[in-house]
Amino acid sequence: MRRRLLFAVGAAVALACAACDDDDGFKDGARGPCAAGGQLSGCPDGERTPEAACWRLVECGSLPAEAEDENANDWGRCVNRLESMIEDRATVVIACIAGATCDELLAPGSPHPYEDTFCWRYGEP
Amino acid sequence: MMRRPTYALGAAIAVAAVVAPRPVAAQEDPAALIALIEKQPADLDRAAWKERRREAARKLIATGDKRAVPVMIRLAEGESFDIIGEIAIEGLGKLGDASAIPALERVAADNSRDRAQRDLARKALAKLGGKAPAATPTPPPAPTPPPDRVAAPPPADDGGDRDAFDGSATAPDPGEASAPPASDTGGGGHGVFGGGGRDAAVVGQPTWDDDVLAARESLTFAVGAASFDWDTVRERTSFVLDADSHYARRLERETMAWGVTADLDTLVGVLNPAGDASSRLVAITAAVEGEARFYGGPGVYGVGQVAIAPQLHYLSSVGNDGMTNVKDTRFVADAGLALGGGYGRVLDVGPRLRVQRLAAVLEDARALGRPIDDGLARRLQSTWWALRRDRTGYRQLTATVAILREAGVLLGEPDAGTTYELLEVLRDASFDVRPSGLDVQILFGESYLVRNNEDGDGLPDVPDGRYEQVMVRARAARQLGLAADAQAWLDARYRLFTPEMTATPWRAAVGGRFRTFAHGEHGELLGAFDVGAEAIVSSDGDANGMDEPDDIDLGAALVGELGWTWTLNRASSVRLGGEVRLAAKEVFIGLALTGSYGFLDAGFARSAP
């Protein structure tokens, strides 16, 4: 019993280190349940919030969780952009991201995109 | 106000009459014996009182007093699960009063009663000169409620008064001896719930075969947004519609199982600000999935899955100069077939837990005449299934009470408190989707993906055409009593047979979740607290030189979440959830409020875990 507990704790710590170790430059994409393989893989809709929509983009490999370049798009900037949009535009962009397949959410240059994925273009001036 | 002391005195006399030894039964006071039969004295616990009232019934019969007849009729018809019922049936034959014939005929014809009771009724009828009817199922009258559950019993000395809910709590006067038994508690349909006949006959009940382990059907609509705004100041119009619908049906048999789900998501956005600018977006996504399993041994099965999911996006955006900036139409589609094998199954046992909770409510109210067996549980669930469109719970309540009374489970018409608690059980959404069991499967999947890979658009190429993968899934769920459950899962996939210079993505996730439901004092579902965690490792399989030099293709994340869900009705809820993610060296904390509205949810489970 103690061995099992130690193993479980060890595995959790190792995974936590892997998740937070930036020296190795761990990649952010391809993590989502439907990031590859289509509908058979199981592809549930995401929640309709700015945070959840941006996580979907990260897990699909569309943008990084945190970009080294201050001007590059990443999860935080994605959330900020959605929150600063007028409400009826943000609602549609978020829903578009939540419902699209991961393949459709890739943008030019993903996972370090230099352009936005198509959902962002709704309501662009 | 003056009745209570008199009644207490009567009860005390009755106790004394029974407790005190008497040499000859004929010397017993019939009124005192009747009082003891009808009302539990305060100084006796229930078990002792039940024993004493049986003895009192024997003695009352032995007196030969005519006042015993209506009492014995009520006991004969109402006490199906206590030996006092048989004492009464036999006693009616000894008392020799022909007014008991109709009641005895009903008992003799009631197939839901024990054969011994029916035989006793036939013998009693023979003594009275009546004719035993053929044994055909008839709705029997409801049992006599235990005196401690009836409303305001009248005193022993005014036998003419009867409470509207009860016909048994009064010691009748001799003038009533030949009156028919009170029908307002019985199957005559005069009670609050209309007795056991009419309301129990719900049309459209499914018939579950004996090998059906569980079934479920649900239809849910979720409207994320629906708005139309017209701003006259800025001359701006906007329209948003984001609506999802989900249908699921599943049937689990001993040797096979099948399930189908269908989803249709619609998103429409129109934005017309002042000037020439405008934007329109339409996204329609449909998905149909099916699964069939065939069990070949103890828990071992072969499985096939199909999935079809087309998706259409249309986006049009016109700039302020009136020139079209973007016009983008995309169509993607997935079609997949997976074959494999596995072990075990996870069943939704929620409907059966609801039956257990129902029995617990009746037991607490001391109104449970006998346990709810598998056959009755099956009948209740079939009725609930047929009434799954009933949003108020009224029809489910009336039908449930009628069935429980008809089966002799519910002793008498429930009082207001019990009725309320029964209704809360029927409305309780915590018994929807309560998985239990272990299921492990491995699948080989062949998909055909239609994607938009165009040269020169700058987009990374994604897998197009055939896509093979192996998938391993495991799920374990356990119910921790009636108000909590725990689940754990493992989900892994790996792409197979990739052409050279093509990515080989894989992903593995393991997680768990615990839920506990909070109820009010009378069984009202207040909400649910949930806490869960998931660990994910993945790779885009692109570590063959195509990545940037500083990229390693391994990703990992830890996700923890907790939430509180308010329940609006059986299929609708609002959840406030918090989430913590540890990914890419950062901690991310989020909070979300989500809601959904649904109807048509229903389920069936043959047995509880």
Does position B554 have pLDDT exceeding 90, yes or no? no
Res A117 pLDDT > 70:
yes
Residues of chain A contacting B541 with CB distance shorter than 8 Å:
30
Q: Which of A27, A96, A112 to mutate to test the interface with B (most CBs of B within 10 A)?
A: A27
Residue-range domains of chain B with CATH: 27-128 (1.25.10.10), 147-210+350-431 (no CATH), 215-347+434-605 (2.40.160)
Shortest Cα distance from B529 to chain A (angstroms)?
19
**Residues B458, A106: Cα–Cα separation, whole Å:** 10
- pLDDT over threshold 80, residue B185: no
Residues composing chain B: 609
Asked if residue B511 has pLDDT above 60, the reply is yes
Q: CA-CA distance, B582 to B416, in Å (whole number)?
A: 52
Determine the Cα angle at B163 with ends B158 and B169, to 5°: 65
Residue B415 phi, psi (nearest 5):
-75, 180
Question: Which residues of B are less than 8 Å from A100 in CB distance?
Answer: 283, 311, 313
Q: In the predicted model, what is the mean pLDDT of chain B?
A: 79
Contact A96 B554 (CB under 8 A): no
Sign of the C-alpha dihedral, residues B214, B255, B437, B217? negative
Task: Using DSSP, state whether B538 is helix, strand or coil.
Answer: strand
Please compute, for residue B181, the number of CA atoms within 13 A of its CA located in the half-sphere on the CB side. 29
Within 8 A of A30 by CB-CB distance, chain B residues are: 505, 507, 538-541, 553, 555
Q: Closest approach of chain B CAs to the CA of A101, in angstroms?
A: 8
Query: How many Cα atoms occupy the beta-carbon half-sphere of B496 within 13 Å?
Result: 10
| Mean pLDDT confidence for B590-603 | 67
Whether residue B491 and residue A33 make contact (CB cut-off 8 A), yes or no, is yes
Q: What is the pLDDT at residue B174?
A: 33
Q: Which residues contact B63 (CB under 8 A, 6 or more apart)?
A: B25, B26, B28, B30, B33
Q: Are strands B572-583 and B586-605 parallel, antiparallel or unpaired?
A: antiparallel
Q: Is B8 exposed, middle or buried (0-12, 13-18, 19+ CB in 10 A)?
A: middle
pLDDT: is A67 or B192 the higher one? A67
Interchain CB distance below 8 Å, A37 and B467: yes
Question: What integer is the mean pLDDT of B165-184?
Answer: 32
CA distance B534 to B583: 12
Contact residues, chain B, for A25 at CB < 8 Å: 550-552
pLDDT score recorded for residue B50: 80
Least confident of A86-95, B31-40, B122-131, B371-380: B122-131
Burial of B343 (0-12, 13-18, 19+ CB in 10 A): middle
Q: Which of B445, B551, B588 sits opposite A27 (nearest CB)?
A: B551
Would you say residue B539 has pLDDT above 90?
A: no
User: If you measure CA to CA, which chain B residue comes closest to A110?
Assistant: B460
Nearest chain A CA: its distance from B354 CA (Å): 29
Q: Is pLDDT above 50 for B130?
A: yes
Residue of A nearest to B322 (CA): A125
Helix (H) or strand (E) holding B17: helix B3-19
- CA dist., res. B405 & res. B424, Å (int): 18
| A89 in contact with B, Cβ within 8 Å | yes
pLDDT at B163 over 60: no
Q: What is the C-alpha to C-alpha distance for residues B146 and B410, in angstroms, rounded to an integer?
A: 10
Please judge whether A27 and B554 are an interchain contact, meaning their C-beta atoms are less than 8 angstroms apart.
yes
Choose among B405, B391, B370: nearest CA to B140. B405
pLDDT of residue A54: 92
- pLDDT reported for residue B316: 92
Query: Cα angle vertex B168, ends B163, B173, to 5°?
Result: 90
The shortest CB-CB distance from A39 to any of B287, B459, B557 is to B287
| CB-side neighbour CA atoms (13 Å) of A53 | 24
Number of A/B CB contacts below 8 angstroms equals: 240
Distance from CA of A43 to the nearest CA of B (A): 10
Q: Residue B192 has what pLDDT?
A: 42
For chain A, the C-alpha Rg in angstroms (whole number) is: 17
Q: What is the pTM of this model?
A: 0.67
Residue A4: its pLDDT value, please?
55
Pairing of strands B506-519, B484-496: antiparallel
Nearest chain B alpha carbon to A112? B548
Nearest CA in chain A to B589: A51
Sort out which chain A residues have CB atoms less than 8 A from B340's CB and list them. Answer: none
d(CA B311, CA B320): 30
CB B38 within 8 A of CB B71: yes
Answer whether A37 sits within 8 Å of B495, measured CB to CB: yes
Q: State which of A5-9, B134-138, B338-342, B458-462 shows the largest mean pLDDT.
A: B338-342
- Judged against a pLDDT cut of 60, whether residue B194 lies above it is answered with no
Check residue B461 and report its DSSP letter. P
Separation in Å, CA of B556 to nearest CA in chain A: 5
Sign of dihedral through CA atoms B404, B408, B409, B412? positive
Instruction: Please tell me which residue, B606 or B12, carries the higher pLDDT value.
Output: B606
Q: Is the CB of B309 less than 8 angstroms away from the CB of A41?
A: no
Q: What are phi and psi of A69, to 5 degrees?
A: -75, 125
Subunit contact B469:A92, Cβ cutoff 8 A: no
Question: Residue ranges of the alpha helices (H) in chain A?
Answer: 2-20, 50-59, 75-84, 87-99, 102-105
Name every chain A residue with its beta carbon within 8 A of the beta carbon of B558. Answer: 12, 15-16, 19
Mutate to test the interface with A, among B459, B542, B546 (most CBs of A within 10 A): B459
pLDDT > 80? residue B469:
yes
What is the residue whose two structure tokens read 């570590």? B543
Model pLDDT for residues B337-360, shown as the tens digit of each residue: 999 999 999 999 999 999 999 999
Q: Which 33-72 residues of chain A touch chain B by CB within 8 A?
A: 33, 35-43, 45, 47-49, 51-52, 55, 58, 61, 64-66
More confident residue, B5 or A45: A45
pLDDT-derived band at B147 (thresholds 50, 70, 90) equals very low
Q: Residues of B with CB below 8 A from A68's CB? A: none
- More confident site: B208 or B480: B480
pLDDT at B345: 96
How far is the C-alpha of B416 from the C-alpha of B396, rounded, in Å? 16
Q: Is A96 on the interface with B (CB under 8 A)?
A: yes
pLDDT at B186: 35
Find chain A residues with C-beta within 8 A of B467's C-beta. Answer: 37-38
pLDDT at B27: 60
Cβ pair B447:A122 closer than 8 A: no
Asked if B176 and B148 touch (Cβ cutoff 8 Å), the reply is: no
Look at residue A81 and tell me whether its pLDDT is greater than 80: yes
Sign of CA dihedral B547, B552, B553, B558: negative
**Interchain pair B585, A66: CB under 8 A:** yes
Q: Which of B76-80, B341-345, B361-365 has the highest average model confidence (pLDDT)?
A: B341-345
Q: Is the backbone peptide bond immediately before A111 cis, with ω within 30 degrees of 0?
A: yes
What's CA A19's distance to the chain center, in Å?
14
pLDDT level of residue B561 (50, 70, 90 thresholds): very high
Q: Give A119 or B166, the one with higher predicted confidence.
A: A119
User: Residue A52 CB: number of other CB atoms within 10 A?
Assistant: 19
CA dist., res. B146 & res. B154, Å (int): 14
Query: What tens digit of pLDDT does each residue of A23-67 get?
Result: 444 455 556 667 777 888 877 777 788 888 998 898 888 888 888
Of residues B330 and B7, the one with the higher pLDDT is B330
Tally helices (H) and strands (E) across chain B: 11, 14
Instruction: Give me the mean pLDDT over the B132-143 stretch.
Output: 49
Residue of B nearest to A68 (CA): B584
Confidence class for position A79, pLDDT limits 50, 70, 90: very high
What pLDDT score does B162 carry?
32
CA distance A1 to chain B (A): 19
CB distance A123–B317 less than 8 Å?
Answer: yes
- Give the number of other Cβ atoms within 10 Å of residue B160's Cβ: 10
Of these ranges, A36-40, B69-73, B253-257, the one predicted with the greatest mean pLDDT is B253-257
DSSP output for B57-115: HHHHHHHT-TTHHHHHHHHHHH-TTSHHHHHHHHHHHHHT-GGGHHHHHHHHH-TTS-H
Q: List CB contacts (< 8 A) between A77 and chain B.
A: none
Cβ-defined contact of A33 to B277 (cutoff 8 Å): no
Q: Which residue has the tokens 């036999």?
A: B90
H/E segment holding residue B197: none
Residue A47: closest CA among B579, B263, B65: B579
Chain A residues in contact with B338 by the CB 8 A cut-off are 40
B91, B61 Cβ separation under 8 angstroms: yes
| B170-181 b/e (C-beta count within 10 Å ≥ 16 → b) | bbbeeebbeeeb
Residue B434: which of B357, B371, B520 has the closest Cα? B357
Which of B332, B539, B586 minimises the CB distance to A66?
A: B586
Of A40, A43, A48, the CB nearest to B224: A48
> When comparing pLDDT for B193 and A36, which is higher?
A36
Query: Band of the pLDDT at B598, cuts 50, 70, 90?
Result: low
Which of A13, A86, A88, A124 is the mutation pick for testing B, counting most B CBs within 10 A? A88
